[in-house]
Amino acid sequence: MAMSRFESPDIMDARLPPGKGLPMIMVMGVTGAGKSYFINQMAGERVVEEGASLKSCTQHCTMVPISVGSVKALVIDTPGFDDTSRSDAEILGEIARLLAGQFTLGFELKGIIYIHRITDVRYAGSSIKTFEIFKRICGESAMENVILVTSRWSEVEESTGARREHELREGFWAYMLGHGSSLSRYHGDRESARAIASQLLLKQTVLLRIQDEMVNGGKSLDQTTAGSFVDNTLARQKAKFEKELKELEELRRQLRESDRQMRRQIQLDWQTQRGKLVDTEQQQVSLKRDIVGEVEEAIKTKKSKWLSGAKKALPLLPIAFNLLLMFVGLPPVAGVSDALVELFNS
């Protein structure tokens, strides 16, 4: 049988041997859900930025090393979908790249913590969309490695929170709970955050559907279940903009030459809609990425550069860690080797 790209020698010797990769946990949820707050509580210090306004805060995936009891792990903070400044396609691309890198390099994904504010009166459109994308990233077989977490309990009456929790259990979250996900209340402090993380750290390493589709199925991002969901949403948006542009063009045709002011206004509206259409088309193009190919290419190039200077001197883990950092768009960390040694010795 032909060797898959994934098994090429270039990739294989950058890969951590089984059991040697750090365990990883991802934290996801809509923007403002409290992902960064949760991670800071878990770390016991403010390691990632928290938002203080309605604008989305975390712009890129960030990795935070933590130790829970005797277990050392990497926790990944992710930007929320429905970000105020970045598109869903862009955020999905970043998460997919990180997940492809994590799997290829041999880090061990233990699961995902999905945070939702129990203070939210309704399950808003953005929450529904984010959850739909999230479900498709995981796939049914990975749902056992998901904890659905409700937060901000101190800000609601217990009975109100319990009613909303029941609604989530019976409604939006029923499918995932029925496939093995669990539900936890987060009480806003360090102990509670660590107790939730510990539940995942005990689990077997998991392969998410999006990883399986990209790495084993050779699919580009738009062909994955999560990617095609985002792509379909964009296709609907595109059709809507095209219809609106046609209507504006028709209106402009019908207006008399003398209605200058009106014609000018229609022209401005047309330009705005046209800009949105172009933006939507660009997002669709950005989904047609071969993420695994990008990751493999990056590993080959960077690995040989780093190995040539540091052969034998650096253990594999810091190199793999630096490669992974690169996938989340961060520069390699100077002294990462020390930081990891410290983490392992703490």
Work out the number of other CB atoms within 10 angstroms of the CB of residue 239. Answer: 12
Could you identify the residue written with the tokens 């028709």? 250
List the x/- string, 160-199, binding to ligand GTP by CB under 6 A. Answer: ----------------------------x-----------
Least distance in angstroms from the C-beta of 188 to ligand GTP: 4
Question: Residues touching ligand GTP: how many (CB under 6 A)?
Answer: 19
267-274: which pairs have CB atoms within 8 A and are 24 or more residues apart? 270/245, 273/241, 273/244, 273/245, 273/248, 274/245
Strands (E), the chain: 23-28, 62-68, 71-77, 108-117, 146-151, 182-185
Could you identify the residue written with the tokens 């695994």? 292
2, 3, 52, 121: which one binds ligand GTP (CB under 6 A): 52
218 binds ligand GTP (CB under 6 A): no
Q: CB–CB of 208/136 below 8 Å? A: no
Q: Which residue, among 54, 25, 56, has the nearest Cα to 38 in the 3D structure?
A: 25
Positions in 67-86 near ligand GTP (CB under 6 A): 79-80
Which residues partner with 109 through β-bridges?
24
Partner from ligand GTP, Mg ion, none binding residue 152, C-beta < 5-8 Å depending on class: ligand GTP
Least distance in angstroms from the C-beta of 329 to Mg ion: 15
Cα–chain-centroid distance for residue 94? Answer: 7
50 binds ligand GTP (CB under 6 A): yes
Dist CA 130 CA 123 (whole Å)? 11
Instruction: Compare residues 152 and 209 and give the one whose CB is closer to ligand GTP.
Output: 152
Least distance in angstroms from the C-beta of 31 to ligand GTP: 4
Work out the number of other CB atoms within 10 angstroms of the CB of residue 275. Answer: 11
Strands (E), 23-98: 23-28, 62-68, 71-77
Least distance in angstroms from the C-beta of 161 to Mg ion: 23
Among all residues, whose Cβ is closest to Mg ion? 58
Could you identify the residue written with the tokens 């493999």? 296
Instruction: Compare residues 118 and 325 and give the one whose CB is closer to ligand GTP.
Output: 118
328 binds Mg ion (CB under 5 A): no
57 binds Mg ion (CB under 5 A): yes
Instruction: Compare residues 103 and 153 and give the one whose CB is closer to ligand GTP.
Output: 153
Dist CA 263 CA 248 (whole Å)? 10
Among the listed ranges 25-33, 90-98, 225-233, 279-287, the one in contact with ligand GTP (CB under 6 A) is 25-33
Dist CA 256 CA 262 (whole Å)? 10
Instruction: Compare residues 60 and 276 and give the one whose CB is closer to Mg ion.
Output: 60
Positions in 156-185 near Mg ion (CB under 5 A): none
Q: 69: phi > 0 → left, psi -120 to 50 → alpha, else beta; which? A: left
Least distance in angstroms from the C-beta of 35 to Mg ion: 5
134 binds ligand GTP (CB under 6 A): no
Instruction: Compare residues 58 and 211 and give the one whose CB is closer to ligand GTP.
Output: 58
Could you identify the residue written with the tokens 């999230």? 134
The residues binding Mg ion (CB under 5 A) are: 35-36, 57-58
Binding footprint of ligand GTP on the chain (CB under 6 A): 29, 31-37, 50-52, 56-58, 79-80, 151-152, 188
